[in-house]
């Protein structure tokens, strides 16, 4: 616990406080991180209700799992890993036709990543990604779109590092054929 004179607590301090049962620390983590987590989840799922549900599940998991946080890496990355797993779990529970697609004509400025993914500039990349199997698509999303290392993606997806590398190799081969 920090004293009032020592300044604001770090995220790691807050996670440690959550591990001891501090709901105030969880509230502070929520204030700091819920916004950007919701935005990033919203880029992966266009259903705002599902995003809200996943966000809530994420912070419930933070509350329950704070004791398991190793202290290695940034707490924000740890929370993002939880959020992504909760989103994947929620999407798996839904029938495939129920997965909403993010529309390209939203009233927001598109990032370069978004423009490429909807196929505006570089062919039908979005279609090629959609035609990947869910296992391959998850690896591409974790490593390319989320920028995770092979080790981090393996941990996130519950796979071995070699499996992540093999799936990424297969995904690249399939994407090359589709986009050639």
- pLDDT score for 98: 46
Which architecture, in CATH terms, is 9-102?
Orthogonal Bundle (1.10)
For residue 76, what pLDDT band results from cuts at 50, 70 and 90?
confident
Average the pLDDT over each of 1-15, 21-35, 93-107, 133-147 and give the range with the smallest value.
Answer: 93-107
Write the DSSP string, the chain: ---GGG-SPPHHHHHHHHHTT-HHHHHHHHHHHHHHHHHHHHTT---HHHHHHHHHHHHHHHHHHGGG--S-S-HHHHHHHHHHHHHHHHHHHS-GGG-PPPPTT-SSPPPHHHHHHTTSSSSSHHHHHHHS-HHHHHHHIIIIIS---HHHHHHHHT--HHHHHHHHHHHHHHHHHHH-
* pLDDT tens-place string over residues 118-168: 544 445 777 788 888 988 988 888 888 777 788 877 877 778 999 999 999
Better-scored residue on pLDDT, 123 or 15: 15
**Domain coordinates of the chain in residue numbers?**
9-102, 104-180
Which fold does the domain 104-180 belong to in CATH?
Arc Repressor Mutant, subunit A (1.10.10)
Q: State the chain's maximal CA–CA distance in angstroms.
A: 61
């Amino acid at each position: 616990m920090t004293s009032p004179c020592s300044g604001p607590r770090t995220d790691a301090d807050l996670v440690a406080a959550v591990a001891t049962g501090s709901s105030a620390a969880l509230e502070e983590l929520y204030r700091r991180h819920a916004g950007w987590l919701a935005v990033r989840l919203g880029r992966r799922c266009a259903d705002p209700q599902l995003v809200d549900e996943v966000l809530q599940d994420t912070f419930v998991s933070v509350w329950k799992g704070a004791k398991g946080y190793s202290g290695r890496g940034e707490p924000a990355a740890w929370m993002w890993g939880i959020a992504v797993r909760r989103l994947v779990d929620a999407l798996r529970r839904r029938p495939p036709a129920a997965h909403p697609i993010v529309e390209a004509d939203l009233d927001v400025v598109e990032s370069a990543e978004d423009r490429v993914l909807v196929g505006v500039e570089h062919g039908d990349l979005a279609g090629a990604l959609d035609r990947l199997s869910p296992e391959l698509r998850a690896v591409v999303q974790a490593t390319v779109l989320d920028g995770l290392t092979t080790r981090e993606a393996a941990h996130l997806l519950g796979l071995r590092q070699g499996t992540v590398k093999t799936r990424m190799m297969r995904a690249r081969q399939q994407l090359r054929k589709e986009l050639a």
